[in-house]
Amino acid sequence: MAGERGEAASMGERVRKLVGLATREAPEVGATPHEVVWRENKWRLLRFEPPAGVVRRGAPVVMVPSLINRYYVLDLMPGKSMAEWLVAKGHDVYCVDWGTPGPEDRELDLAAIADRALGRAVRIATRLSRGSVSHGERGERPHLLGYCMGGTLATVFAALHPERVGSLATMAAPVRFDGEGLLGRWTRTAGFDVDALVDATGLVPWELLQGAFHMLRPTNNLAKVVTLVDRAWSDPYLDGFLALETWANDNVSIPGAFYRQWIVDFYREDRLFEGSLEVRGRPARLDAIDCPTLAVAFEHDMIAPAPGCLALVDAERGVGSSGDPSLRRGVTLSGSHIGGTTSSAAKKGLWPLLSGFWREVEAAGRGA
């Protein structure tokens, strides 16, 4: 139907809509009602409110986004929000908002983020969920859901503290970094001096990070323009386009100490997958993770290629036994790194996949 409408749309209508983009009111992003339940330094923990008539049930879901981008890609806009959809299904949903680091945060490292901050978020979500879910159920160990770099951070936390995690789900999150992806090739070149970059900047500039992602697909902006012209007749498409562009250009610089570890320990030495990663002297090994695990990759993801994401459930070096092999899964869906989580296809495929996985884990008694 949409295709027929597009074919029938006159060029004049498309031009009028395109010209109107300059003054078109951008849709509200991050609009799902929520409460800030914790603040610490720059980061916050959000708890999303269910719509009227919906009762929270089951274990809390703690969403962990990337440090590089804003959290609201997981709450993009009404109708295109994973958080909105999940709370409407009765999940008790929390999300870390990493905020904007300042120069004083340049020494924040992997331990500060993947251990201390995530540890605090998990503890608070567990405590708040206890006594507030339906039928007087006690709070259960939370479901961790990580997206992109946030999925890698969630994996590190689960490897450090397997006893505190009810299940682990990752989306477009690499755990193996020795593949053929372009980001890996670039960061492993002799000409990329990460120490000089970090020493010179303190906070690694978001402009540099965004430029690297643009170079992965140099024609992507042109492709977006072509699609925009083709679908300019559609108001829902234009709203979604503006929301996603708002997010894509709302980037964040990241602490230099963390960035140095990210490049050296992950991209260059692949310590997480190889089993040699340590955080504050403690091993973070994938085979220590014994909870139900779901790794989701996307077919056209150039930022986090599917093999590196699915390595989380690799039979040889991936997560340990969950007790039920059916609750240790790797799934590749159609879509790209961003579109795979925000598109209409995600609403029909990815989001129900996650919800069903968590309910299955709870029914099996794995989250308690």
Of the ranges 198-202, 213-217, 240-244, 249-253, the best mean pLDDT one:
198-202
User: In the prediction, which pLDDT does 60 show?
Assistant: 97
What pLDDT is attached to residue 229? 66
Contact yes or no for 147/127 (Cβ under 8 A): no
Distance between terminal CA atoms of the chain?
A: 46
Q: What's residue 293's pLDDT?
A: 96
For residues 143 and 167, the answer to whether their CB atoms sit within 8 Å is yes
Q: What is the pLDDT of residues 261-277, one digit of tens each?
A: 999 999 999 999 999 99
* pLDDT tens-digit map of 354-368: 999 999 999 987 544
Are β-strands 282-283 and 278-279 bridged in parallel, bridged antiparallel, or unpaired?
A: antiparallel
Residue 27 C-alpha from the chain's centroid: 21
Buried b (16+ CB within 10 A) or exposed e, 118-138: beebbebbbebbeeebeeebe
The per-residue pLDDT for range 145-189, each reduced to its tens digit, is: 999 999 999 999 999 999 999 999 999 999 999 876 778 888 888
Give the model confidence (pLDDT) of 15-54 as tens digits: 666 666 666 777 899 999 999 999 999 999 999 999 999 9
Whether the per-residue pLDDT at 342 is higher than 80: the answer is yes
pLDDT for the residue numbered 3: 46
Mean pLDDT of the region 111-133: 91
User: How does strand 293-298 pair with strand 328-333?
Assistant: parallel
- The whole-number average pLDDT for the span 323-349 is 90
- Per cent of the chain over pLDDT 90 is 66
Q: Given this model, what pLDDT does residue 35 score?
A: 97
What's the confidence (pLDDT) of residue 138? 40
pLDDT at 365: 79
Beta-carbon contacts of residue 300 (< 8 Å; ≥ 6 apart): 334, 335, 336
Write the pLDDT tens digit of every residue in 242-258.
788 888 889 899 999 99
- Using pLDDT thresholds of 50, 70 and 90, give the confidence band for residue 222: low
pLDDT per position as a tens digit, 80-120: 999 999 999 999 999 999 999 999 999 999 999 999 999 99
pTM of the model: 0.89
Domain covering 2-363: architecture: 3-Layer(aba) Sandwich (3.40)
Q: What was the pLDDT predicted at 17?
A: 64
Amino acid found at 349: G
Is 10 a residue whose pLDDT tops 70? no
149-160 and 118-129 are packed helices; what angle lies between their axes, rounded to 10 degrees? Answer: 80
* Average pLDDT score, the chain: 88
pLDDT bin (cut points 50, 70, 90) of residue 132 is: low
Q: State yes or no: pLDDT of 135 exceeds 50.
A: no
